[in-house]
Structures are given as C-alpha cells and as structure tokens.
Structure 1
Amino acid sequence: MLRGNTSSRIAWIGSTQAFLLFLVSLVTGPLFDAGHLRWLLWIGSGLLVVGMFLASITSAYRQVFLTQALMTGLGFGCLYLPAPAVVSQYFHASTALAMGASSTGSAIGGIVYPIVFNQLQPRVGFGWATHVLGFILLATSVVPLFLMKSKAPPRPSRSLIDRSAFRDAPYLFLKLGLFFGVMGFYIIFYYVELLGLARTDVSPTLASYLLVIINAASLLGRLIPGYYADQVGTINVQTAVAFASTVLTFCLLAIRAAAALVVFSVLYGFMAGAFMGLPAAAVVSLSPDKSKIGTHLGMTLAFVGFGILVSNPIAGAILGDGGNWVGLMVWCAGLLAASVGSLVVSRILKVGPGLTKVI
C-alpha cells in the first residue's frame, strides 16, 4: 500500500500519531483535573475504534495518514494521560510499581496486535485483518469506560500551563531527559525489522517478530524496575536504564547474527519498558502540589511529543536510500546519552550529588 514512499515519509505516520498522543495531553491534563474523565474515555475510545475500521478501507498514503496518524493519535491522546493519573490516586506507597503495571497494557497490545495481523493478513487480506483489530479495540475499550473512576473531586478550570513549573529547574531537566530518552527509544521500535534484514542473517519471518519480542520483554521491564523504583527512586532507576540502553545501542553496531539481534531485542525491550513506564511516576515525585499532577503530566508529555514528531523522520533521513545504518544507530545512542546527562543534572539539582539519596 505504501510502496514508493521513502522510509522517512512513512515514518511521519507513526511519529505524528505518537506526537498527537503526547501533545493532546496538554489539554487532557487540565480536563482530567476538572473532572471530565468520562468524556475523555468516550471520545478517545470512539476515535480509536472508528480510526481502525476506516483504516481497513484505505488505499493511499493520505488516507492512512488521516486514519492512523490523526484519528488514532488523537484517540490515544485522550486516553494516555488519564490512566496513570487515576492510578496515582489509588496507590501512594508503591506509585512507580502501580504505574508500571498499568502501562503493561501497551506492551500486551504490542504483542497481540502484530501477531494477529501477521497471521490474518495473508489469509483474509488487509481489510478483514484490520477489521478484526478494530473489534478487539472495541471489546477492550469497554472495560475502562465502566471501571475507571477518579477519586479526586473536580477542581476549577485552570490554565493549560502551570507557569510556576518553569521556575523549577529539576523539573525542567527531567522534562529534557524524558524528551531525549523517548526520542531515542522509539527509533529502534520503528526500524528494528529493516535493520535486521539489512545487517544480519535474520530470516524475514523472524524479522517480522522482532518488534513483538521487544514488546514482550518490555512487559517485564514495566514491572520489575517499577518495584525497585519505589525503593531507590524513580529518577535513579530511569537514569540507570537510560545509561544501560546507551551502551546497548552502541553494541548494536557490532551485531551481525540473528541470535545476537534477538538477545539485543530482549534486553532493549526490557530497558525501553522500564523507561517508558516510569515518566508519570517521575513527574509525580517532583510535583509538590498533587492537585496539579494532571497539568504537570500534560505539560511534560506535550513537550516530549515534539521530540517524537521529528526523531524518526530524522532517523529516516539519516538512513536515506543508501542505508546509513551506522548513522542511524549513532543518532539513537546519542539521544539516549543526552537523556542520561539531563536526568543526572535533574537529580543533582534536586538532592545533590550523593549516590545514596532516593529520588
């Protein structure tokens, strides 16, 4: 369907979807604080389901962009922030673990949806395979509609932005660390299959499941580090994970065997799951006014969204028609290294240079 389009142009679909997911949080944060959780769930679920069903009849790039980038991105945006915000109201002693556990749904979806589509598409065609995904979305969307409930009373409407946060240096460097980290982590998610086919002896069948392997490993990554984050500090764990991922990505430069790429996918997925599952808990830990958690989360996620918007298209441009995989991997590792530096500065500004302090 998208043959004839460059990897950079195709990357704009996923990047725009992820960008909207995060950008819309700037609006959904205050709406959540104001008590409009139910509306966010209905609108978000509706956009997701309709977008998926309409995707089944697409035949051109602009149609895919409309249904998958715009509609799905806006739908995800309505749902993404309320989940950790609600969880933070119910769990106080083990916030990081609870938020990590709540984020495992995205990892499970990242396992189930590719497998279902890969198995059905050759048998029933793109249209019906996408229909099945739409029905799965419809069924699973019913659960939060009836079970999710905010414990906090509605608060008066406030500005989309809390200006006092811009005077909080640790919070600003945390945002910068998340900005660079998410930019870097998403690159491998988008390009691991093509990288495997281009640089290793991996079979096409195994290559199509590398993303599934990453998502499966991220399931544990969202749980185990979340437990330790409650013991030693969320930002401490995120910094360690970002550093390990930087080293791991540089190691990818030397990988040429399928088995080694699978091992990399497992380790990278674990690290990515840990990093992606903890941003909300990190923001909560640095928010002195808990009544503004939704607003602070929205501000942070919107800022991160701009990084996601450009990261993969830049990676695609670096890759180019000549297949500059070394440049792409160095770009990814460099972003993760920048994340480490920013998180270290945030930690030092908040609690000082000591290694034993929990934050």
Structure 2
Amino acid sequence: MESANISEKPGPAAVEAGHGGEEDAGQNVVNTANQAPPEDWFAWLQVLGAFSLNLNTWGLMNAFGVFQTFYQLDLLASKTSSEISWIGSTQSFLMFLVSVFAGPIVDAGHLRPLLAVGSLLTVLGMFMTSLCTAFWQVFLAQAVAMGLGFGCLYVPAPTVVSQYFHASTALAMGASSAGSALGGIIYPIIFTHLQPRIGFGWATRVIAFIVLATLLPVLFIMKTRAAPTSKYTLLDKSAFRDTPYLLLNLGLVFGFMGFYVIFYYIQLYALQETSLSAPLQGYLLVVINASSLLGRLVPGYYADMIGSINMQTAVALVGGILTFCLVVIKNAAGLVVFCVLYGFCAGAFMGLPAAGVVSLSLEKKSMIGTRLGMTLATVGCGVLVSNPIAGAILNGRGGWIGLIVWCGVLLMASCASMAASRVAKVGFSWKGVI
C-alpha cells in the first residue's frame, strides 16, 4: 500500500511535547492496514453495507428482465427485443465502465463522496423512469443515469469487504453479493404485483423509494480500512503481464455475456415457447434469482476451501450444459427445475469474480480497487453487446434455438478460459486452491 513518507519516530520527549503526533497516527494507519484483519462485528457491518449496495446495483440489473417483458408487450411495443435490450445492456456496460474510475477513487480514500454521487444518480434515475413514455426517455433514465450510479456504487462493495477479511474472504464476498439475488427477487415481485393495480409509474416509484431507504444507511456505515494510496492510476500496467489475471478476465467476459441472456429472455421464452400459465411465467425470473441466492452463499462458503476460480470454472460448465438442455424443455415442471439449477449456477458465478481478482492480486493489495475496475470495464464491453446480439438472433433466422446455442457456447468458452487461468497460476494439480 503506497502512502505518504513517514519520518523516523521521534523520542518520548518530542511526543509528550505534542510533536510527531501526526506521524504516529499515519504510522498507526499503515500498521493497521498491514495487520491481519480481525473479522469482527465491524467487518460484518461492512458486509451488510456491501449487501445493500449489491441489492441496488446487481439486484436492479438482475430484475431488468421484468422490465424487458413489460416494455416489449406494453410501453415500448413498437420496438424489437434487440432494441429494448440495449437499455439493460447499456445500463450494465456503464456500471462496468465507470468502475474503472471508481476503483482508484476508492483506493485514494474518497469512498463517501463516491457513494453519495452513486446513490443520487440511482435514485434519480429510478424516479425519472417512472415518468417515461418514450424509448429515448427510458434509455436516458434507466440506462444512462442508473448505469452511471451503479458504477459508482458497485466497486466499493467488494473493495471494502476485501480489506476486512482474509480467511473468510470468499464467504464474506458471497454473503454481500447475496443482495444481488435478493434484489432480483423482490423488485420483480413488487413490479409484477403493483403494475396492474397502480400502473407503471407508481410501481416504479415504489421501487425507487425502497432503493432510497436502503442506500441512505450505507453512507454512514461503510469505511475503508486500508490507508489511502497517495499515487493511483486507472490502470495497473503489471496486470497486462499477468497471464492468469488476463485469462480470468476473458472467462468472466464470456460468463457474464452468457448468463445474462437467460435473465433477459426467460419470461419471453416461456410466453412464446411453452404452455406455462401467465402467473407462473411472471415468477420464472424470481425463481432464478431466488436460487441464485443459495448459489452465492453455499459455493461462497466452499470456495474458501477449494478456490473461487475453481468454483467458477465448475459452475460455468454446468451452466452451459443446462442451457443446451433448454432446447427440449417445454413444460412447466421442466422449466421451473431449469430455472432453479440455472439460477444456482449463475449466482455462484456472479458472486465470486471479486474474490477471484483478489486471489490473483494478493501481492498488490493496494491495487485491488484498480484491478477490479479494470476487470469490470472489460466485462462491460461484452455485456453491452451480448443481449442485443441475442435479440438479433431471436428476431432473425436463429430463433430461440439460435439464442440458446449462443448462450451455451459463451458459457462453455467461459469454462475453458477460467480453467486456463487456473492452470496458468497453479498448474495441472487438482490440489491447487485458487
């Protein structure tokens, strides 16, 4: 961790006279940052704060499928699936892109202003979405404003949590990321139940008020443990020579591109390709997000023992196999089982990227925020185009089979890249924990 130069500690007389106190304080901060984290109640309070941040970033992103379906069938019925998916994809892309700048800002010690700006943009974007009646309005409010807000809010979550944990890093990361799954459960339920009763505008405003209420406490409880770095950069140049890190990024790009396709299109698939009742169709996204909650917690616990990258490799493989199976699933029971298993794999994969980056950056902990930002920006480029491509395949000759194959191939490519990252770091030994 880079910090300001600290001169030699003064003698007792100087200290008693009040000289050198600032230097001692600086030394204490550095020593605290270098000591093993105690993993006490305050550390778990940071997990709670990160949980709330994930609830209102990834959680809202995971809930976009319910908006995608509503827009296509009602508010933006004149637009194609591919066009509407640009709203969610741009939102995700901006979150990942802004993370490049948010990481160094956290490393520099400006956590609270970053959280304040992100909270304002997210809440404002949600309220403005409730007033929208045209595509360009929805795009500016839900894609641009909220995407920028998400970018300010997400990186602080894993960065701060990683500073308070060592032995239980993956568990803490998984617990905090469970907010993503909870958001993906409650927000679609709220919208689905309220929209027919009170309309799109007020249903969206109710969600906005919940976002406001759950983000405000975060401004007061989250605090960085590491000393601010006096020199920071948007890029860690050494990362470009780190083969395991580069392969991990490639695997994460493919994985997020693949997993999010089903999140966006599962309700539409059920409507057009299966005999599911309308109420059950509306809950498929909820089922995926509910099972992803277990996927974030259970694998997060075991990832501390077998390695987060090892875990992600396995769930990407299983997720790819499940996706190919979707081609032949046409009944209610089969689709619900698919959503449960797929959600579990998606939750495990999406809950562990930060832990993977941390595990490959232990020698450069002062650059974790920067590396997380770099990773998320890279992932964002893939997420930006994945669902519009899926929508174009769906509306073209590929149809639903083409969309499913696109998703499955991406997940298999993710598995291969993650496995290559593991081999590059620890070799072919099955005992390697990474």
TM-score by length of 1: 0.99
Distance 1:247 1:322 in 2: 23
Where structure 2 has 5 or more consecutive residues not aligned to the other structure, the ranges are 1-74
Task: Map Cα deviations across residues 270-306 of structure 1 (whole Å, 9 max, x no partner).
Answer: 1000000000000000002111000010000100000
Q: Deviations over 1:237-280 (max 9, x none)?
A: 01001011111111111101111000100110010000000000
**How many residues are paired up?**
359
Aligned mate of 2:264, from 190, 205, 213: 190
User: Cα offset for 1:208?
Assistant: 1.1
Q: Does 1:150 align with 2:221?
A: no
1:348 paired to 2:401: no
Amino acid at match of 1:11: S
Residue among 254, 274, 281 paired with 1:207: 281
Task: Determine whether 1:29 maps to 2:91.
Answer: no
Q: CA deviation at 1:157?
A: 3.7
Letter of the structure 2 residue corresponding to residue 282 of structure 1: G
SS at match of 1:159: coil
Distance 1:321 1:294 in 2: 41
What displacement does 1:323 show? 7.1
384, 397, 400: which one aligns with 1:309: 384
Matches within 5 A, 1:313-332: 313-320=388-395, 324-332=399-407
1:8 alignment counterpart: 82
Using the TM superposition, give the Cα deviation of residue 205 of structure 1 relative to its aligned residue in structure 2, in angstroms: 1.5
SS in 1 for 2:92: helix
Query: Residue 38 of structure 1 corresponds to which residue in structure 2?
Result: 112
Distance 1:342 1:128, change over 3 A: same
> Shift of residue 123 of structure 1?
1.1
Equivalent residue in structure 2 for 1:271, among 316, 334, 345: 345
> Where do 1:33-72 residues align within 5 Å?
33-72=107-146
- Separation in 1, partners of 2:195, 2:328: 34
Identity of aligned residues (%): 65
Alignment of 1:157-196 (within 5 A): 157-196=231-270
Cα displacement (A) at 1:42: 0.2
Match of 1:91 in 2: 165
Letter in 2 for 1:138: L
Shift of 1:132: 0.9
Letter paired with 2:307:
G
1:236·1:358 contact (CA, 8 Å) conserved in 2?
yes
Distance in 2 of aligned mates of 1:106 and 1:327: 28
Q: Deviations over 1:155-200 (max 9, x none)?
A: 1142200111100111100000001000000000000001111221
2:294 aligns with 220
Q: Which amino acid aligns with 1:68?
A: Q
**1:336: which partner in 2?**
411
Alpha-carbon distance, 1:146 to partner: 1.1
Cα 1:212/1:323, change in 2 over 3 Å:
farther
Distance 1:80 1:176 in 2: 20
The aligned amino acid for 1:315 is A
Task: Show CA shifts across 1:294-328 (max 9, x none).
Answer: 00100001000000000000000000166700000
SS across alignment from 1:92: coil
Letter in 1 for 2:250: L
Moved over 3 A (4+): none
Measured in 1, the distance between the counterparts of 2:389 and 2:261 equals: 10
Paired letter, 1:343: M
Instruction: Give the equivalent residue in structure 2 for 1:118.
Output: 192
Contact 1:30 1:157 in 2 (8 A): no
The aligned counterpart of 2:29 is none
Taking structure 1 as reference, are residues 351 and 323 closer, same or farther at Cα in structure 2, changes over 3 Å only?
closer
How far apart in 1 are the matches of 2:396 and 2:186? Answer: 32
Match for residue 76 of structure 1?
150
CA distance in 1, matches of 2:131, 2:377: 31
Aligned counterparts of 2:197 and 2:398: Cα–Cα separation in 1: 32
What do the CA deviations read for 1:103-147 (whole angstroms, capped 9, x no partner)? Answer: 111111111111111111111111111111111111001121111
The equivalences for 1:223-242 within 5 A come to: 223-242=297-316
Q: Find the aligned partners of 1:103 and 1:84 in 2 and give their Cα distance.
A: 9
Q: Is the 8 A contact 1:26 1:298 kept in 2?
A: yes
Q: 1:292 is aligned with what amino acid?
A: M
The residue type equivalent to 2:292 in the other structure is S
Q: In terms of mean alpha carbon deviation, does 124-133 or 166-175 score higher?
A: 124-133
Aligned to 1:249: 323
Bigger radius of gyration, 1 or 2?
Answer: 2
Q: Which amino acid in structure 1 is aligned with residue 431 of structure 2?
A: T
User: Quick one: distance in 2 between partners of 1:57 and 1:171?
Assistant: 43
Q: TM-score, normalized by length of structure 2? A: 0.82
